[in-house]
């Protein structure tokens, strides 16, 4: 997952300040995420989960309320079918948003977890990792479809 994030930064870094900032948020999110499973129950785990959930909510918000809007606005300026193609990805991205929000609701303020909650956390982290990996791939497709395909045309105007 971290390697895919680096590849995305290499591929799209510098094309847009908003996208650059968002990809930095993604990398930070992944870094905190991968550190969580190795932690023992206690204050450090609670702190890491809280930080991760905060970063996750910021990342989701930036995507939905800044990046996607910018990309869709760019795509609407061109009548080449890219907007329609991108709009097919948004429901799949929304599914991952719903799962991430559920994770945040469950673990954003964990407190003193029981053994059952810790076991469930490990399962939920694994599931969320898969969901995020799929989401990042869909978001990369969205960038490719709506921004990169029109970059030369946008830069020329």
Q: Which domains does the chain have, with CATH numbers?
A: 2-156 (1.20.120.1370)
* pLDDT at res. 110: 82
Q: Which of 97, 103, 9, 15 is nearest to 53 (CA)?
A: 103
* pLDDT at res. 83: 83
Question: Would you tell me how many other CB atoms lie within 10 Å of the CB of residue 64?
Answer: 14
Residue 154 has pLDDT above 60, yes or no: no
* pLDDT at res. 12: 43
Residue 153 has pLDDT above 60, yes or no: no
Residue 147 has pLDDT above 90, yes or no: no
CB-based contacts of 33-39 (< 8 A; 24+ apart in sequence): 33/1, 33/125, 33/128, 33/129, 33/132, 34/1, 34/2, 36/125, 37/122, 37/125
> Mind listing the pLDDT tens digit for each residue in 73-110?
877 877 777 888 888 999 999 999 999 999 999 999 88
């Amino acid at each position: 997952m971290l390697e895919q994030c680096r590849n995305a930064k290499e591929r799209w870094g510098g094309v847009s300040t908003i996208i650059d900032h968002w990809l930095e948020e993604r990398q930070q999110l992944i870094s905190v995420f991968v550190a969580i499973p190795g932690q023992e129950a206690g204050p450090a785990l609670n702190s890491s989960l809280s930080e991760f959930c905060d970063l996750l909510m910021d990342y989701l918000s930036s995507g939905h309320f800044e990046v996607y809007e910018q990309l869709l606005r760019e795509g609407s300026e061109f009548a080449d079918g890219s907007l329609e193609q991108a709009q097919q990805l948004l429901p799949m991205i929304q599914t991952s948003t719903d799962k991430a929000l559920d994770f945040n609701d469950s673990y954003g303020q964990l407190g003193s977890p029981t053994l059952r909650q810790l076991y469930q956390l490990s399962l939920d982290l694994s599931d969320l990792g898969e969901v995020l990996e799929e989401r990042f791939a869909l978001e990369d497709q969205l960038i490719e479809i709506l921004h990169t395909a029109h970059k030369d045309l946008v830069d020329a105007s």
